[in-house]
Amino acid sequence: MKIGIGSDINGYELKNMLKNYIETQGFDVVDYGVKADGKTDYPKIAESVANDIINDKLDRGILICGTGIGMAISANKVKGIRAAQTHDVYSAERAQLSNNAQIITIGSLIVGPELAKKIVDTYLNNTFTLDDRGKSSAKKIEQIIAMESGE
């Protein structure tokens, strides 16, 4: 599985730690920045990761900023993306199992490194399925897609 990861300057250290951690778990990771100089605005990073998911260059994404809010808002502006803000293991699990989110966001000023690893593990090791619960969720996801399309 190919994972895109990016951050703003607030999430720089957590991004680098998570990138290394995810690689040790056997995933292919693409770093979208921000680099050490912090000169890229986070909406552009979120947009790049989201577009590469839509274009099948990535399987999933992880975006980090101070709260996770700005990255989630930015990524969700890309048509077809479902980005979920996560601050605990349960929200990471539900992001995938209930919402089939392609991206999670994490707030580096809210979530510590050890919890961030657990959030990422949970997100990456769960897969949306069309079991009984997934069928119910799929209907809701279809409604979200229709809303986005203006239907």
Question: pLDDT (tens digit, 9 = 90+) per residue, 117-140?
Answer: 999 999 999 987 665 555 666 666
Cβ neighbours of residue 75 closer than 8 Å, sequence gap 6 or more: 46, 47, 49, 50, 61, 63, 81, 83, 103, 105
Percent of the chain scored above 70 by pLDDT?
Answer: 86
Residue 84, SS3 per DSSP: strand
Q: Is the model's pLDDT at 46 over the cut of 60?
A: yes
Rounded Cα–Cα distance for residues 18 and 29 (Å): 10
At 2, give phi and psi (nearest 5°): -105, 125
* 141 vs 84: which has the higher pLDDT: 84
Query: What is the pTM (predicted TM-score) of this model?
Result: 0.90
Q: What is the pLDDT of residue 141?
A: 66
Is a pLDDT exceeding 60 seen at residue 146? yes
Amino acid letter, residue 18:
L
Which is catalytic among the residues 65, 78, 83, 95?
A: 65
Q: Report d(CA 100, CA 98) in Å as an integer.
A: 6
Helix (H), strand (E) at residue 83? strand 83-85
Instruction: Please say if 65 is a catalytic residue.
Output: yes
